[in-house]
Structure 1
Amino acid sequence: MDMPISLQLQSIVGLLAFISFFFYLIKPLLRSYKATQVRCPPEATGSWPIVGHLPQLVGSQPPFRVLGDMADKFGPIFMVRLGVCPTLVVSSWEMAKECFTSNDKFLASRPSSAAGTHMTYDHAMFAIAFYDPYWREIRKISTSQLLSPRPFELLKHIPHSEINIFIKGLYQTWEKVHLRNDSVKVEMEQLFGYLTLNITLNLVVGKRVCNYGDSSHDDGEENEGRRLYKVISEFFKLCGVSTISDALPFLSWFDLDGQQKNMKKVAKEINLVAEKWLQDKKTSSLLSRSSKHNNGEGNGNDFMDVLISVLPDDDAEGPLFTKHSRDTVIKATALNMIVAATDTTSVSLTWALSLLLNDKRVLKKAQDELDTKVGRDRGIEDKDIKNLVYLQAIIKETLRMYPAAPLLIPHEAIEDCNIGGYQVKAGTRVLMNVWKLHRDPRVWSNPSEFRPERFLDNEGEGSKMDFRGQHFEYMPFGSGRRMCPGISYAIQILHMTLARLLQAFDLSSPSSSLVDMTEEGSGLTMPRATPLEVLLSPRLPHSLYDYVETSAKK
């Protein structure tokens, strides 16, 4: 006979109480023993029995801020306990350098998690895959076929065309009301999300599914695109949430906080979409199987076509299909590209515009640079970006203050290693608090101040720094083996979108007060807590909004 739910819960509570009491008794002995054996990193105070510091990270404050406050008390490297998971928190560039140079290989893996199991085909998405031959092979294919400069150069007409459509869509929104108002109010965070989703979908599966106007006339595919954008946002929230099942794996079966149920729901929705894409590709036969002999480069179609072309069959020998089927690898890799590029890029664009609306001096200086270097009689081209040094500094400063992933993606030690003179055991999780590191007053003067000039030559402390992870004081994309492979893609989209937007429109806040800069920090990325409403009006001749290249839905 099954035990009633009430008795099951009483048993669980009793077991936890017993374990808590036992842990309380032996904890001083364990600390004393460890102190005599190795030099361990200091552990933050306030740990609870069993759950450790988990209650402190699930409150109203975003985890990166809570951990930043802890760093002020316990130093640039310290331990927290997330249930049974020992976790090292790194908050200074010196410690980050040790992690990503001499210890890079030891810290190159990702921890197992409920999100990874349920939402990424059991860690098949290479961003959170374990450090093994599968990860090396699939990252190599992804980089060589899409993310490196050469293939992206061949496909750059796709983002350029989509940004043109985006600008024209904003202009058409203004046209509908300009007889009544000089400017039109739009919500930019969602529109940036639709833009980056369209760009990445077009690159990866040959589709664009969102328009930028009135949603009341959406067709079925348009509604599908808007729903996909919401699912991607939910995906990133769930990827960063602290779950009971991760902290206390022996309780995962009960799903006490309900997060596994939410993860499975998101996984089901996103897999249905990916499966449809894959089956459409197979049915249409855009790539023949013989194209895999075309020097391993496909034939210029989208990324999913290339994956279908270059990946071997399920029964082939090698590291790719030891744990996953061929179809699973294709879906996971395509989705990895889409969800990562969509959310992080749109979040960064939203913060950049928020900062500019709160600083009219910087906004005017950026538009003056555009008027001087480009003018108002033509659109911006690729060749112009290198001359827009102040605009580039704005993007750098935005990513310093609001890195898209403030704690990066967690690492896990695969071997014992030494960081900062402390012994770090294999299996320890490592959180890199880039948000805190980027606000180190030893490196950045007035670190909470938005000042792009700090990245200009001979004017600021960041003038020689770039995005590539070699300057450990500044690494919004991470560093080492597991740094983001899509840096070139992200920076080109950020530069071109912001440049086109600032050239095309005068922008202001609908409110006389400053834009609210509160973060929604419970997920893997750091979006705004509130929508970003903006007043915009054209600043270019009408003809420059009408030269958009045609880009029909595929």
Structure 2
Amino acid sequence: MSIPMESLFLYLPIFLALYVVTKHLLNKIQNLPPSPFPSLPIIGHLYLLKPPMYRTLAQISKRKGPVVLLQFGSRKVLLVSSPSAAEECFTKNDIIFANRPRLLIGKQLGYNYTSLAWAPYGDHWRNLRRIATLEILSAARLQVLYSIRIDEIRSLIHRLFLKQFQSVDLKTMFNELTMNVMMTMIAGKRYYGEDLTNLEEANMFKEIQAETFKVSGTTNIGDHLPWIKSRELEKRLMECRRKRDEFMQELLEEHRKEKGTYISAEKTKTLVEFLLKLQETDPEYYKDEIIKGLMMVLLIAGTDTTTNTMEWTFSLLLNHPEILKKAQTEIDNRVGHGRLLDETDLVHLPFLRNIINESLRMYPVAPLLVPHESSDDCKVGGFHVPRGTMLMVNMWAIQNDPKIWVDPRKFKPVRFDGVEGGRDGFRSMPFGSGRRECPGEGQALRMIGLTLGSLIQCFEWERPSKEMIGMREGIGFTMPKAQPLIGKCHPRPTMLKLLSQT
């Protein structure tokens, strides 16, 4: 028996109303966190989302509270936007939330969820984490690799000295700096600047990196609505993975061939050399895919984030010349004019650290952190959170909440006076917290501090025009600036002699 079309149109609104009301009542009965009304069939709350997502989610939290349950298609999402709720997730429930959701980017760029960033919590992830924290990014290892960072920063200073009184694209310069540092650490190669040994290889690397950041920052609706797959995006991710995989495989083969021609000192081994040595001891575990996965994580997580932080911080300084001058005075008093800033000086420059911490508070490079997923039922804020719920911690909302911070949108580095390591409980944690917090925090802060401190020490800076630097946020996972930073500089008279020798 067929139902007349007129009847369908009559009953459809009734059905939708019953569905929405029933779902709303069930949430209350199950003691689930509050949820925006209504949650629509199939799409849930996806209709509410507009870019930038962290601002949209912050508005939802203002209305519904610091612990909110959302429905992104078929996926439950716990949205947390208060220090106390974040603390509960990363302390009491840290193991439960130590998993990662299975998103398309983790499959394609995370070697089928086996890389450090996307692997599920377990023995394999713990081993990768141990290698990253104790071997690759430990304080001792970073100190050994100091010469790589200082050489690239000195090269940047020299380039700026040659371009004095000209407008320079600082976004590009910061990006090339961080890429060169990371690739020299990984494979002993530079792909930006002058005196490149293989221009074709360098151009290939640049192309792959640009495409990686482009596709990885694209929202994939298929992560939440599996039956609506973006074949174009998946195809682009697969092609990007193929190119990256081939490129890194060639680097591995090159190191294998060179193994017999030279012996690196144990302390100066590149990451590739170190991992290939591990492969010899346990070839069944340390397969090439595991090695390339670690290389991939460092290149994706350790470059764009550092570049963006330096760009945001320097933009704030150019808009607040009085703070820039205060930082300059601190460096003059602690370091002087007879030598260039050294990494060991950073511990004696608290105001510079405050500037970086304040920039990370205002413009966290991972405003929603990397998503987590619950491996079991738990409670957050007194509410029941079902197993398999994706956790999104809105760090942008927490770090810019006027209930937590006085004048949160004002650049006030002094608010971090006396705060150890830039963390103020769970009110400010731009690198995350718990088991899956970013292991590259030490590397990032060294790079950012030494780079910005050196530029402040060596040059007088100004905006290219009387207009303030635009601080509008662009679209992307790591919150880039909408407009690249352009600045002008000239050597400080007291540093001219040193700069002419770089």
Q: What TM-score does the superposition give when structure 1 sets the normalisation length?
A: 0.83
* Residue correspondence of structure 1 range 411-430 to structure 2 within 5 A: 411-430=372-391
Q: Is the 8 A contact 1:510 1:533 kept in 2?
A: yes
State the partner residue of 2:42.
50
Query: In structure 2, which of residues 301, 309, 312 is the aligned counterpart of residue 340 of structure 1?
Result: 301
* 1:502 aligned onto 2:456: yes
* Residue correspondence of structure 1 range 363-378 to structure 2 within 5 A: 363-378=324-339
Q: Secondary structure at the match of 2:37?
A: coil
Q: Is the 8 A contact 1:64 1:436 kept in 2?
A: yes
State the partner residue of 1:29.
22
Name the CA shift for 1:224/1:35 in 2 (closer, same or farther; >3 Å).
same
CA-to-partner distance for each residue in 1:70-115, whole Å, 9 max, x for gaps?
1111111101111111101100001011011100011000000111
Inter-partner Cα distance in structure 2 for 1:85 and 1:22: 22
Q: Is the 8 A contact 2:119 2:125 kept in 1?
A: yes
* 1:528 aligned onto 2:481: yes
CA-to-partner distance for each residue in 1:159-186, whole Å, 9 max, x for gaps?
1111111111221233xxxxxxxx1111
Inter-partner Cα distance in structure 2 for 1:24 and 1:312: 63
* Residue correspondence of structure 1 range 75-86 to structure 2 within 5 A: 75-86=65-76
State the partner residue of 1:294.
none
State the partner residue of 1:98.
88
| TM-align CA RMSD | 2.7
Q: What TM-score does the superposition give when structure 2 sets the normalisation length?
A: 0.91
Cα drift, residue 288 of structure 1: 9.8
Q: Is the 8 A contact 1:78 1:88 kept in 2?
A: yes
* Residue correspondence of structure 1 range 90-489 to structure 2 within 5 A: 90-174=80-164, 183-211=165-193, 219-238=199-218, 241=219, 243-252=220-229, 255=230, 258-285=232-259, 300-311=268-279, 316=284, 320=285, 326-456=287-417, 463-467=418-422, 471-489=425-443
Question: Which structure 1 residue ranges, 5 or more long, are not aligned?
Answer: 1-17, 175-182, 292-296, 457-462, 549-554
Name the CA shift for 1:315/1:387 in 2 (closer, same or farther; >3 Å).
closer
Letter in 1 for 2:302: A
Q: Is the 8 A contact 1:370 1:388 kept in 2?
A: yes
Inter-partner Cα distance in structure 2 for 1:22 and 1:306: 62
Cα drift, residue 287 of structure 1: 9.5
CA-to-partner distance for each residue in 1:422-451, whole Å, 9 max, x for gaps?
000010000000001011223311111000
Aligned residues between the structures: 491
Letter in 1 for 2:179: L
CA-to-partner distance for each residue in 1:46-80, whole Å, 9 max, x for gaps?
543311222332x3x30001111111111111011
Inter-partner Cα distance in structure 1 for 2:15 and 2:280: 53
Inter-partner Cα distance in structure 2 for 1:20 and 1:227: 51
Inter-partner Cα distance in structure 1 for 2:281 and 2:14: 54
Q: Secondary structure at the match of 1:526?
A: coil
Name the CA shift for 1:528/1:76 in 2 (closer, same or farther; >3 Å).
same
Q: Secondary structure at the match of 1:250?
A: coil
Name the CA shift for 1:467/1:486 in 2 (closer, same or farther; >3 Å).
farther
Cα drift, residue 126 of structure 1: 0.5
**Deviating more after overlay: 350-359 vs 130-139:** 130-139
Letter in 2 for 1:464: V
Cα drift, residue 310 of structure 1: 1.1
Letter in 2 for 1:234: K
Cα drift, residue 547 of structure 1: 4.7
State the partner residue of 2:7.
none
Inter-partner Cα distance in structure 2 for 1:78 and 1:165: 48
Inter-partner Cα distance in structure 2 for 1:105 and 1:145: 23
Letter in 1 for 2:421: D
Inter-partner Cα distance in structure 2 for 1:315 and 1:228: 28
Q: Is the 8 A contact 2:46 2:71 kept in 1?
A: yes
Q: Secondary structure at the match of 1:311?
A: helix
Name the CA shift for 1:360/1:50 in 2 (closer, same or farther; >3 Å).
same
Cα drift, residue 466 of structure 1: 2.6
Inter-partner Cα distance in structure 1 for 2:114 and 2:261: 24
Cα drift, residue 124 of structure 1: 2.2
Cα drift, residue 340 of structure 1: 0.9
Q: Secondary structure at the match of 2:177?
A: helix
Inter-partner Cα distance in structure 1 for 2:14 and 2:116: 41
Q: Secondary structure at the match of 1:511?
A: coil
CA-to-partner distance for each residue in 1:352-402, whole Å, 9 max, x for gaps?
001011111111111122222222232111232122111111001000101
Q: Is the 8 A contact 2:90 2:433 kept in 1?
A: yes
State the partner residue of 2:467.
513
Q: Is the 8 A contact 1:407 1:432 kept in 2?
A: yes
* 1:40 aligned onto 2:32: yes
Inter-partner Cα distance in structure 2 for 1:93 and 1:150: 32
Q: Is the 8 A contact 2:137 2:440 kept in 1?
A: yes
**Deviating more after overlay: 99-108 vs 366-375:** 366-375
Q: Is the 8 A contact 1:374 1:380 kept in 2?
A: yes
Inter-partner Cα distance in structure 1 for 2:385 and 2:266: 44
Q: Is the 8 A contact 2:169 2:485 kept in 1?
A: yes
Cα drift, residue 231 of structure 1: 3.1
Q: Secondary structure at the match of 1:466?
A: helix
Inter-partner Cα distance in structure 2 for 1:212 and 1:287: 26
Name the CA shift for 1:234/1:105 in 2 (closer, same or farther; >3 Å).
same
Q: Is the 8 A contact 2:144 2:267 kept in 1?
A: no
Inter-partner Cα distance in structure 2 for 1:147 and 1:332: 16
Inter-partner Cα distance in structure 1 for 2:79 and 2:425: 19
Q: Secondary structure at the match of 2:310?
A: helix
Q: Is the 8 A contact 2:24 2:37 kept in 1?
A: no
Inter-partner Cα distance in structure 2 for 1:346 and 1:162: 14
Identity %: 33
Inter-partner Cα distance in structure 2 for 1:199 and 1:232: 18
